[in-house]
Amino acid sequence: MSRTVCSVVGARPNFMKIALLHRELRRRGLEHRLVHTGQHYDDHMSRVFFEQLRLPRPDHNLGVGSGTHAEVTGKTMMAFERICLRERPDLVVVVGDVNSTLAAALAARKLDIPVAHVEAGLRSFDEGMPEEHNRRLTDCLSNLLFATEPSAMRNLEREGMDMRRAHLVGDAMLETLLASLDRLEDRAPWQDYGLEKKEYVLCTMHRPQNVDAPDALEELFGLLQQMPWPVLFPMHPRTRASVERAGLGERLQTLTGVRCVAPVSYLDFLCLMRECRMLFSDSGSVQSEAALFNVPCLSCRENTERPVYTEQGTTELVGRDADKVRCAVEAVRQGRFKTSTPMIRTLGQDVSARIAGQVHDFLC
């Protein structure tokens, strides 16, 4: 009898993490259904990613949209419960740490449907991060725990998880990047913005602690203004809304050398990252991609749930500390910034095959 696996994706990093797993599950004879929560509904944040990652059109789109944490979680639970009652999947796969990750896991387990969590065990140990709550609670609910790095396995063991459920599989983001490298060769998106290779900073910011408060935005603008290279800033819709709400739209336009643009496609973003002088970002997932490209990554955070990329990769935690940023930028300028170790590449090898194999064994 054919078994059905239902994967839930909501934010754009989820799309990259599920792309190759979709094919691996199908290859093992499992029926795979894809549910898009609609949390990222902008074409730049959603549709184009499905096209470039060669993912099929989702079987279901919940149309949840944006809202408060409670609104998104509640609407996702109610909508996904209806899908589960109709489809009766044998397993639900959730990815990452967004609100829809926890919502889908909770809805499934309430219906006695097993759950697998991709990127289990990651911890920032920052209780002020909503993502930290989502990670911990999703791991507690999950029947299968797929960890990206050794620290994640240690976290799960320390928290008393049944380690027979936990498997170190590697980083799906890196696997998708490696599979996409041959499609980057004929792209030069930096030219569209009048930039030169290795002579610009690529910036992404979206976390509440950096973009929700006007004072934090002003600090961020000050740091961008100090960069010795032009700054390309593909702006997340949430960040743009925060800027407008704070009445800082005109202030942003006055920043010398800072160019704000709409979110870019997956392949273009990889090209921009590979050829930039450095990254300035509060994203967790770009830490892995920057490490593979051996590009300096200044993380505008005080902590990270992915310590392997600070220990073995190119990420340095600088927060919004002007002195730390200044020192790190100077190290980049002088070519003294740390480089990635060979271990990084191994984290992106055969990830989806390992996950699909464990899922197949669990179900069959």
Give me the pLDDT at residue 115, please: 98
pTM for the structure as a whole: 0.93
| Superfamily designation of domain 4-170+348-363 | Glycogen Phosphorylase B; (3.40.50.2000)
Rounded-to-integer distance, Cα 188 and Cα 204, Å: 19
At 32, which helix (H) or strand (E)? strand 31-36
Write out the chain's pLDDT in tens, 364 residues. 689 999 999 777 788 889 899 999 999 999 999 999 885 544 444 567 677 887 778 899 998 877 888 998 999 999 999 999 999 999 999 999 999 999 999 999 999 999 999 999 999 999 989 999 999 999 999 999 999 999 999 999 999 999 999 999 999 999 999 999 999 988 999 999 999 999 999 999 999 899 999 999 999 999 999 999 999 999 988 899 999 998 988 898 899 999 999 999 999 999 999 999 999 999 998 999 999 999 999 999 999 999 999 999 999 999 999 999 999 999 999 999 999 999 999 999 999 999 999 999 999 9
Residues in the chain: 364
Give me the pLDDT at residue 43, please: 47
Rounded-to-integer distance, Cα 157 and Cα 73, Å: 27
* Catalytic residue (choose from 44, 133, 167, 206): 206
Give me the pLDDT at residue 238, please: 85
Q: What are the backbone dihedrals phi and psi of residue 302, each rounded to the nearest 5 degrees, phi first?
A: -95, -10
Instruction: Indicate the DSSP class of residue 134.
Output: H
Assess whether 206 carries a catalytic annotation: yes
Domain spans in the chain, listed from the N-terminal domain onward: 4-170+348-363, 182-346
Give me the pLDDT at residue 49, please: 64
All residues at 6 or more sequence positions from 238 whose CB lies less than 8 Å from its CB, including other chains: 66, 206, 211
Q: Are 18 and 49 in contact (CB under 8 A)?
A: no
Give me the pLDDT at residue 355, please: 98
Rounded-to-integer distance, Cα 144 and Cα 60, Å: 23
Cα separations in angstroms, 122 against 90, 97, 119: 26, 9, 7
Give me the pLDDT at residue 47, please: 66
Domain 182-346 sits in CATH 1.10.260.40: no
Q: Are 210 and 320 in contact (CB under 8 A)?
A: yes
SS3 category, 315: strand
